[in-house]
Structure 1
Amino acid sequence: MSEAIGKAGEVSSGDQLRAKKTVVVLGAGVVGLTTALKVQERGGYSVVIVAEVLPTDEKTTRYTSHWAGAHHVLNVSEDERQQKMDLDTLKVMWDLSEPGTETAQYFKRIVQTEYYSHVKLLPPLDRMPNYTVLAPETLPAGIVHGSSFDTVTIDTPRYLRYLADRFVAAGGRLVRGAVQHLDQVLEGGAGIFTPNRTPERPDAVLVCTGLGTRFLGGVEDKTVHPIRGQTVLVRAPWIDFGRTIGKESGWTYVIARHSGDVILGGTRAVDDWYPLPRPETTRDILERTFAMCPELAPPEVRALRAPTLDDVLPLVIEEGCGFRPGRTGGIRLDVEWRKAGEGKAAKEVPVVFNYGHGSYGFQSSWGSADIALGLLEEAINRKQ
């Protein structure tokens, strides 16, 4: 994973010569933050993020990114565009996780083991670093295929704050605002949400509103739907690996973070809007993950006797749930031209859409941001 990624903040001579274009990004989840950062660091743009919930806020189901695990696993089998986005993102994250760098603290490089109780079409895991197929005689009971490879996990709350800080350091702005309709921003920009309420019509708008796109006036994409995921966070710094079992009924996973916290999951409930952790689901997650990974029990306990689930319960820090922004048809990445303003002052403004990532927000964030930037630049150049 040593391929060079473009230098952050690198600005071409052509960008230096042109006036900066004002761009508004709607949404401050991992997709919105990464997209805004990509555009701001490209040069030639003045970018402002408008969002109702920001990464420094307390956790809420209105902000999915805080609840993500998250690890990077190439598990999309049939969508070549998604695979490229995921690979491009892995390259960036691998560089950011380089030991000894300032950004390594937001990641943990691990060996990930994937088990499958059924195999119809294997995901393209063979493109992961150090991919190895496990010998059949080493597989647990009921497992028909297993593999291991190197990957990264992301300490999601800290990584989100890092993206926001890097965006601001590059000259971007964060504005808190509840956008009811796309037309509000097309005509007034981010200025209508600032204390002085000074409109500033943008040159372009990027919509990265995730699940909120279902309710955003002027878009109201009803193909967007929640995929509820519930997780349990435990303190287990001795876990330095990742492990997943995939069954037709769902996934069971253990995701270790650099901080020593470990995310246990998971669930995948389509169109389930319940905003609180269900106790019975928490118990089910703990039982499944402990059965798969008895190493969750403290090592001093395992040195003396066979551990039980009761040894893991005191390690629980938090139960949580989030609504992954699923979309029928997958991620939307395209451009529409929308009217901004009324009468003679009206003009056409390009709107770039980048939402509907489902379970793959972190995993495809940099790749989809690349595509969104390309769409933006093509639209801006057409307009000039």
Structure 2
Amino acid sequence: MLQLSGLRRLRLSAYLGVVGLSTALKIQERGYSVTIIAETLPSDPKTIRYTSHWAGAHHVSIAGDDVRQQKMDRETFRIMWDMSGNEAEGCFLRIPQTEFYCEERKQANILEVMPDFRYLGATELLAGSKSGVSFTTLTIDSPVYLNYLLSLFLSRGGRVQRAAIQHISQVAEGAFCRAPNAIVICAGMGARTLGGVEDKDVYPIRGQTVLLRAPWIRFGVTQSSLDGLWTYVIPRRSGDVIVGGTKIDNDWYPNPRPETTADILSRALTLCPELAPPFLSQDGQTIRNPNPTVEDLQPIIIESGCGLRPARKGGIRLETEQHETISGNVVQIVHNYGHGGYGYQSSWGSANIAVALLDGVLKEVKANPET
């Protein structure tokens, strides 16, 4: 017979990204005991196997008509906005953001809920853009934020077990720690190959970026193009700036391509010529370079990077199932993966849904102890 109080809960993340960390923290808030099992941690060196490190990231929803996604994004923004004014201020930068679109947008923009939102006038548009908006949002310093979330999880009594998991049965049967009553799977790209899940609807969207040192940039700007490409400039609180990018389905190449780096820098400089370092005149005045080139950006390049966004056909998988071990024990499973490029934007919102699903299956177990 199972008693709900005092049960040990386990959530599983193959690669401990922003979705897994947010979900673990939300589960802790419900009073559950949580152990994270992960192959890669935020404090590890950057790797192609861990996408969250490479993200820009800023909060600009592109949920479109997806009502569930809209709700998750708005809930996440509200939580992040509060965090950016309190204990986690160092992880965020509040900035004015401008979005330029290559097409006319007749319907209401989902970003109308953002602070200081307004539509751009015709004279404010860049060449090649047919509409645009501006608003206030925030950017996230990804490595800093990830390590903050992990430290918060540990400070609340959470446990971390480093392991490479081949099959969820290994976790369900207690191979790495005490056998759990529930597993929450936030495996990112790992959901494609993790035994017991093996979701072939999961696929990578490769993104490549360049990290610059440009502390004078304190605004964000993005422009779309007719070929589906987005160029963006995302400053961080630290003074670093992420510029990008690319979105290529099923491209597994693990290293930055030099020709792509050159293209990103060229596009970013056209969009935001202020990226070029200013210089001092003979009388000590700061002067902007009137005709900057990509070569002017070379001294401020920190690194080029690429990551594999863990997308999924059909969208984010937020659902439950049961897993029966070889010994006949039944473990409740909650899935929360397949966020693609929306991980930071929907992290807290999807975590709340996952926790509600977890509460539901555990209440069902309590009500039916013989199952």
TM-score relative to the length of structure 1: 0.90
Distance across 2 between alignment mates of 1:40 and 1:154: 23
* Root-mean-square deviation (Å): 1.4
Are 1:181 and 2:196 matched, yes or no? no
Moved over 3 A (4+): 119-123
Identity of aligned residues (%): 54
When residues 142 and 25 of structure 1 are mapped into structure 2, their CA distance, relative to the original with a 3 A threshold, is same
Could you tell me which of 4, 13, 23 is aligned with 2:10? 23
Structure having greater relative contact order (Cα 8 Å, sep ≥ 6): 2
Q: Deviation digits for residues 209-240 of structure 1, max 9, x if unmatched? A: 00110000111000000000000000000000
> How far did residue 246 of structure 1 move?
1.1
Corresponding residue for 2:187? 209
Report the equivalent of 2:320. 335
AA of the residue aligned to 2:359: E
Task: Name the amino acid aligned to 2:310.
Answer: P
SS of match in other structure, 1:264: strand
Structure 1 gaps, min length 5: 1-16, 192-199
Tell me by how many angstroms 1:162 deviates.
0.4
- Aligned match of 1:322: 307
Cα drift, residue 125 of structure 1: 1.2
Alignment partner of 1:256 is 2:244: no
- Letter of the aligned partner of 1:208 in structure 2? C
Aligned twin of 2:333: 351
Deviations 1:266-293 (A, max 9, x none): 0001000000000000000000000000
**Matches for 1:1-384 after TM superposition, within 5 Å:** 18-27=5-14, 28-43=16-31, 45-98=32-85, 101-119=86-104, 123-188=109-174, 190-191=176-177, 200-249=178-227, 250-300=229-279, 303=287, 305-306=289-290, 307-342=292-327, 346-384=328-366
- Count of aligned pairs: 354
Output the amino acid matched with 1:215: T
**What is the alpha-carbon distance in structure 2 between the residues aligned to residue 303 and residue 150 of structure 1?**
27
Is 2:117–2:134's contact at 8 Å kept on the other side of the alignment? yes
Contact 1:25/1:47 (<8 A) preserved: no
Contact 1:254 1:289 in 2 (8 A): yes
Quote the Cα distance in structure 2 between the aligned partners of 1:76 and 1:104: 26
> Structure 2 stretches of 5 or more lacking a match?
281-285, 367-371
Q: CA offsets, 1:39-70, max 9 Å, x none? A: 01221x11011111111100000000000000
Q: 1:122 to 1:226 in 2, by over 3 A?
A: farther
Contact 2:277 2:288 in 1 (8 A): no
TM-score, with normalisation over the residues of structure 2? 0.93
Structure 2 CA distance, aligned partners of 1:231 and 1:353? 29
Structure 1 residue 178, shift from structure 2 partner: 0.4
For residues 196 and 7 of structure 2, what CA distance do their matches in structure 1 show? 27
When structure 1 is superposed on structure 2, of 278-287 and 309-318 the one drifting more is 309-318
Alpha-carbon spacing, 1:379–1:61, altered in 2? closer, same or farther (3 Å): same
